[in-house]
Amino acid sequence: MVSDKRNICIFCKSKAVSGMGNIPDYWYCSVCLLGWLKKIPRIVYNENYYIGKSNFASIIFNPIAQFFYFIRQTYVGLHKKNIWIDCGAGEGGFLRTVRARKKFGVEISSSGRKMMKKIGLSTLSDKEFLLAKKLNADIISFWHVIEHLEEPISYLFAAYENLNENGKLVIGIPNHKSFEFKVFGKYWFHLVPDYHIWHFSPKSITQLLNKTGFTVEFIDNWSIEHHLAGILQSFINKSSGSDSVLHRLLKRGLNYSPSLKDILWSVFWLSIGLPVVLLFWIASSILHQSGTIVIVASKKDKVVYS
C-alpha cells in the first residue's frame, strides 16, 4: 500500500529527500533508488479515452508497431501459450497479436474494454483483476503500466495469484538511473509527470518483485520500442522545447498540429542527427544505463509484504 505519508519510502520506510535529480516535484529514496511524485495526478480514463479515430501518422506507423509487438513476444518465447493476460491493454492492439489460446485484457477504461470485446478478446476491469484468483496464466505482461499505478504492489500480488507455477511476468518500465534522465532532465520523454507516478531503477523494481513473490530472471537494456524511441523523442524535446511531438502525432484521437520548429527538429533528429541517437542508444544499453528496461520474472515461494 502507498504510505499515508508521501515522503516515506514504501519499501524501506526511510524518509525520502525532496527532488529526483534537479526536479523538485518528486520524493526520492536514496536507499532504494526509487522516485515518486509528491502529488498524485488525477488521471481519468473516461468512456471516450480510446474511441478517437486513427490519424494518418498512426496508420503509417502501424507496420512498425506490429514489429514492436513481435519483439515483445520474443522475451517469453514464440511458442503458443495457453493463457496470456496483458495489464493496461488499452484497446488490445498488442494483445490481439500474441500467440495464445485465451487472451485477457485488463483495462481500467471501459472504452478500451469495449474495443477489445469487439475484436474477440476477453476483458477484465482493474477491480476484477485485483480480486481474481487462479486464472492460471502462462504470461502476465505490464508494458509501461506499473509506473502509472497508484498501488503497484496490489497488481503484482494479483499477478502472483493468477500466474501458473511455471508462468512468466514481463514488465517494461522507464529507468530513471539512466543516461537519458541525467542528460535530458525535465525534457526526458519518459518523465511524463501527468501520468507517471513512480520512477523505478533496476534495484527498486527488483526489490518490489522480490517482496511480492517473484525472482528476476533477467533485465534487458536494448528495447528498440521504448528505449530507442524514447531517446529520439528526448532529443526532439530538448531541441524544440516542446513536449513529445512524435508521440502526440501518432496517438489515436489527438487533433495535434505541430509548430514549424517542432517539425524541423523532428526531421533533423530523424535524418542528420539519427547517428547520434543510435550511438546514444548503443552506448547506454552496453553500459546498462538505458532509459527503459524490460524485466522477466518468475514465481518463487510467496513473500508476504509488510
The pLDDT of residue 256: 66
CA angle 24/30/36 to nearest 5° reads 45
Residue 22 has what pLDDT?
Answer: 86
Q: Taking residues 14-38, report their average pLDDT.
A: 93
pLDDT in tens, 61-107: 788 889 999 999 999 999 999 999 999 999 999 999 999 999 999 99
pLDDT tens for each residue of 141-157: 999 999 999 999 999 99
Identify the helix (H) or strand (E) that includes residue 264: helix 260-270
Cα dihedral: 248, 253, 256, 262 (round 10): 20
Q: Which percentage of the chain shows pLDDT scores above 70?
A: 88
* CB-count exposure of residue 227 (10 Å: 0-12, 13-18, 19+): buried
Distance CA 36, CA 28 (A): 7
When pLDDT is averaged across residues 35-59 and rounded to a whole number, the result is: 69
Distance, CA of 231 to CA of 210 (rounded, Å)? 30
Report strand pairing: 17-20 vs 23-29: antiparallel
Distance in angstroms (rounded) separating the CA atoms of residues 220 and 294: 5
What stretches of 159-302 adopt beta strand conformation (E)? Answer: 163-174, 198-199, 214-220, 292-299
Beta bridge partners of 27: 18, 36
* Residues 226, 94: Cα–Cα separation, whole Å: 14
Distance, in Å, from the CA atom of 304 to the CA atom of 306, rounded to the nearest integer, reads 6
Q: At what angle do helices 202-211 and 152-162 cross, to 10 degrees?
A: 50
pLDDT at 55: 57
pLDDT at site 75:
97
* Confidence class for position 300, pLDDT limits 50, 70, 90: confident
Sign (positive or negative) of CA dihedral 60, 61, 62, 64? positive
Check pLDDT > 70 for residue 159: yes
pLDDT at 41 over 60: yes
Q: Residue 47: pLDDT band by 50, 70, 90 thresholds?
A: low
pLDDT of res. 62: 80
Could you count the other beta carbons within 10 Å of the beta carbon of residue 278? 13
Q: Which amino acid is at 63?
A: P
Report, as an integer, the average pLDDT of 8-15: 89
For the chain, give the mean pLDDT: 90
Cα distance between residue 72 and residue 141, in whole Å = 10
pLDDT in tens, 168-196: 999 999 999 999 999 999 999 999 988 89
Cα–Cα–Cα angle for 203, 206, 207, rounded to 5 degrees: 85
Domain residue ranges of the chain, discontinuous segments joined by +? 40-299
Written as nine digits, the cell of 250 is: 501518432
Give the mean pLDDT of 110-125. Answer: 93
Q: What is the pLDDT of residue 253?
A: 52
CA 83 to chain centre: 21
pLDDT tops 90 at residue 251:
no
**Axis crossing angle, helix 274-286 with helix 229-240, rounded to the nearest 10:** 130
Give 270-289 pLDDT, tens digit per residue.
Answer: 999 999 999 999 999 999 99
pLDDT band of residue 60 (cuts 50, 70, 90) is: confident
pLDDT greater than 50 at residue 306:
no
Amino acid letter for position 305: Y
- The class of domain 40-299 in CATH terms is alpha beta
- Band (pLDDT 50/70/90 cuts) for residue 246 is confident
